[in-house]
Amino acid sequence: MHEYTPAADQVVRTLADLTRRRLAEPRSLGRIPSATELQQSLGSTITPDGVGAHHATELWSEVIAPACLSPDHPRFFAFMPNCPTIYSAAFDGLVGASSIYAGAWLEGAGAIHAENQVLRWIADLAGFPASAGGTFVSGGTTGNLSALVAARHSARSADERRSTAGAAVCISESTHSSIRYLLESVMGVDVITVPPDDRGRLTGKQLGSYTQSIGPDKRAEIFAVVATAGSTNAGTVDDLEGVADVAEEFGWWLHVDGAYGGAGLLAPELEDLYRGIERADSFIVDPHKWLFGPYDSCALVYRDRELAQAAHAQNAAYLDPLADASEVNPSDLGTHLTRRARGLPLWFSLAAHGTNAYRAAIEQTLLVARAGADLIRADEHLKLLVEPDLSVLLFERTGWDSSDYSAWSSQLLRDQVAFVTPTQHKGEPCIRLAILNPTTTVDDLLAIFESMH
C-alpha cells in the first residue's frame, strides 16, 4: 500500500487530473439525494479485498461528488459560502501529500513558521501588539472554545481566592449558537444574554446597563464578554469600542468572534466598524469563509500569547521533548494536540497573490452586496430588514409565509438556479443572502430577486 508502483503512479495522475478539472470547469450546484438513493447507487465499498482504485474513482466522480453541494458556486448564498482561490485549493492537496505534523515546532518548524507569518499579518490587521500570537484550528467553534478556555484560566489565575472566578460570560442574542453551546454544555459556564439594540448588535451601553442591573454578586462571576464582528444571520458588527470600554472597566476578557466578518478588516471603507477590536484579548477569523481558503481553517490570535500557552500547554512524559523547543508549539495554544498544517493553503495563496488582491476581492463582494441592497429597496415586492454592515442581505418577500419561502427555495435548487435557504428575523420568516464569492455578480442577485415576483 505504501510503495510508489506504476499502478500507484497512474492513480495519482488520475486524481491530479480530476483535481485540475474540478478547479478549471464551471461549478454545478449539486443535489441532495436520500441515504436510500445513495446506498443503491454506491453499494458496498468497504470490503476485505477492496473494489480497486479505478472503480473507487468512478464512484467518486459519478456518485459521491454529484451528491454534494458546491459552496463555491457563485449562486450558493446559504449559510456561509466557501470560495477558495485556485492556488489555495491546489496547495491543500500538496499539504495532505506532504504528511506534515504541525502540532509541534520539533516536527513541523517550516510549516509553522509560514503559518505564523500569516497569523502576524492577521494580528496586524486587528492592531494587536508584538506580544500577540496564535494558531490555526479546525474552525470557529474550536477557535472560540480555545479562546474562552484561556479566558477562564486567566481569570482563575488572577483571583485564586474566589471560587466564582470564571463562572459566567456575557453574550448577546446574535452571538453564534455554538458559543452558547460551548459555554453551557462543554465548559459548564453560566451565560448572561444581554439584550441587543434595534439592529441586533451588542453595544457598550446595553452591556453596561444590563450587567449593572444583575447585581454585584452575579456580576463578580463574569470573566469574559463575547462580541461579534459579522453576525451569521444579519452580518452586523457589534459596538466593539463600547464593549471594550465595559470589559476594561470590569477587568473582563474580551473575545471577538470574527469567524465570518473578521476578513472585513482588509477593507478601508469598513475601518470605523472595527474600531475597538485592537483592544480585544483574543480574536478569530475563518479563512474558509471570507478569506478564500479551503475547508477547514480558523485563525485564532491572542493579544498575549503567553496567557494562552499557560492555559493550554499539556504535560506528559512523551511530550517532554516538545517542551525543549525554542519556539512555541501550536499544540500549546488551543484545545488540540494533533494538527495538520491547515494554515498553509492560505499562506501559499497570500504569498502568491499578495494582500492587495485579497483586499480587492473583499471589496468586490462588498460592492455587489451594496448593489443588491439597492435592488431590494427599489423592488416593490421586497423589503430590506437590516441595513448591511458587511456582505449579508436580510430581506423579506411581502405576503409570503414560511411555506412560500421553503417551496421557493427547494424549486431554485431543483432547477439548479441557486441555493438559498430561509431564516428568521425577529421571529418572522425571511431570506438571507451571504455574498462571499468574488465571482458573484449583480446579475446573479437580480435573478434571485426576479424569481420571487
pLDDT number for residue 161: 58
Q: What is the pLDDT of residues 432-452, one digit of tens each?
A: 999 999 999 999 999 999 999
Kindly compute the dihedral angle of the four CA atoms of residues 198, 201, 207, 208, in this order, to the nearest 10 degrees. -70
Q: How many CB atoms lie within 10 A of CB 177?
A: 10
Q: What parts of the chain have a pLDDT lower than 70?
A: 161-165, 324-325
> Does the N-terminal peptide bond of residue 296 adopt cis geometry, omega within 30 degrees of 0?
yes
Separation of alpha carbons 419 and 411, rounded Å? 9
Burial group, residue 168, by CB count within 10 angstroms (0-12, 13-18, 19+):
buried
Separation of alpha carbons 315 and 57, rounded Å? 43
Beta strands 133-137; 298-302: pairing state = antiparallel
Separation of alpha carbons 107 and 181, rounded Å? 34
pLDDT number for residue 163: 60
Separation of alpha carbons 26 and 75, rounded Å? 12
Separation of alpha carbons 262 and 237, rounded Å? 10
Closest CA to 240 of 288, 211, 285, 273: 273
Q: How many CB atoms lie within 10 A of CB 320?
A: 9
Are the C-beta atoms of residues 227 and 255 closer than 8 Å to each other? yes
Beta strands 422-425; 133-137: pairing state = unpaired
344-353 and 86-98 helices, crossing angle to 10°: 140
Are the C-beta atoms of residues 244 and 282 closer than 8 Å to each other? no
Return the amino acid letter for 319: L
Closest CA to 299 of 311, 286, 312: 286
SS3 287: helix
Separation of alpha carbons 167 and 105, rounded Å? 34
Enumerate domains of the chain plus CATH numbers: 1-30+33-68 (no CATH), 93-353 (3.40.640.10), 355-450 (3.90.1150.10)
pLDDT number for residue 318: 78
Separation of alpha carbons 72 and 50, rounded Å? 32
Closest CA to 32 of 304, 358, 427, 419: 419
Separation of alpha carbons 169 and 147, rounded Å? 12
Closest CA to 204 of 251, 241, 249: 241
pLDDT number for residue 188: 95
pLDDT number for residue 59: 97
Angle, vertex CA 359, rays to CA 353 and CA 365, nearest 5: 115
Separation of alpha carbons 175 and 171, rounded Å? 6
Are the C-beta atoms of residues 169 and 257 closer than 8 Å to each other? no
pLDDT number for residue 315: 83
In 3-state terms the chain splits into helix, strand, coil percentages (rounded to 5) of 50, 15, 35
Separation of alpha carbons 61 and 45, rounded Å? 14
